Amino acid sequence: MMSVTSSVHVKRVESQEIYADPDARAILQFLLRNLSTTIPPKITEADEITYPTLQSIIKEQADKPETVLSRMSFAGVLIADLADKVPICPECGSNQISTRYLCPSCFTFDITRSFLFEHLKCGKVASDDAFRKGDNLICPKCQIVLHDFGIEFRAVGAWYKCNRCDNSFNLATQSHFCRPNHHQFTPERAKLIPIYEYRLNTSRLSEIRRQVLVYSELIAQFENHGLTVIAPYQFNGKTGESESFDIGIVTKGRWGAQKTITLDIIKSEFYCGPEVVRDFASKVKSAKPSQSYLVVVPGLKEDAKELAKNLRVQCVEARTIGDAFDPIRNLEGIKELLP
């Protein structure tokens, strides 16, 4: 029997493997920016279990999405909530199965289903085919034309007829059919597999943030000076939608009201264009924090700098995240908070 100490150690090792996985890190970075977002499953028309949200997060998926997500759940950084259970073939494990309705006598699926109608006035019960004459419904017993469903006539059940053995019955036998390999099996033999929806484990938010965010050292510096830091920080924008910033510093203003300073950290391989500035300015306009700063590594293109000047976006440019620490500390709104 595994001891408590051993169990914790195994979990910690697994977590470090997750933090070293580029796909897992990309998923965690996405969820940190969108704390209330989940990663829901979708079953395609071909019965494939997919996670469309990951298509914009992971460009090239080496593993199946559910493999990456289940590993992250096992490590405890994600929480898996049961979304559905689907039957799979007990022979080959495929979930590409159809449900067939069979004749209980000869077990063929070549059966015809009819509805049973009752004429409420005379009590005649027969199949809908017996009532239907062209475009009209006519009682086969008293020949009255029927118009109002629920008043003149009603449906009282279904009736099946086998086209092979001519058997009539009111309850068909159900069977599953595996389309890829043509296995046929009863529902009693079907295996059920769970499908999960995934969300961030917020109880481990500090650890995840520290391991995943490249600017965690900057957050630690703010916190070491006694500042209240929330990362990521979410505002309710004027459009009603939530606006998320990488870092929020919450403090009290001159007259005791809450003051919020927000920062977005953009790290790229190349110099960033105007769209980065435009998106940030739009977010600030909607959220209206007390002060806001855009930190860009390695920097902005000339047209982006011009746009930032026109939109009055205060920017910090640096070659690396580490090089950005001192310029950030010297920003007017932050400098006054630090000793």
Provide the pLDDT for residue 321. Answer: 83
Amino acid at 206: S
Provide the pLDDT for residue 109. Answer: 93
Is 232:64 a contact under the CB 8 Å cutoff?
Answer: no
Cα torsion 25, 26, 27, 30: sign: positive
3-state helix, strand, coil in the chain (%, to 5): 30, 35, 35
Provide the pLDDT for residue 2. Answer: 31
Provide the pLDDT for residue 165. Answer: 94
Q: What residue has token string 């919020």?
A: 260
CA distance 314 to 283: 14
The domains found in the chain, sorted by start residue, are: 4-80 (no CATH), 104-171 (no CATH), 213-335 (3.40.1350.10)
Q: For residue 89, count other CB atoms closer than 10 A to its CB.
A: 22
Burial of 138 (0-12, 13-18, 19+ CB in 10 A): middle
Task: List per-block mean pLDDT (blocks of 10 residues) for the chain, which spans 339 residues.
Answer: 33 65 86 87 85 80 76 93 93 91 94 90 87 90 90 87 91 92 92 94 86 78 83 73 84 74 89 95 92 94 96 94 87 83
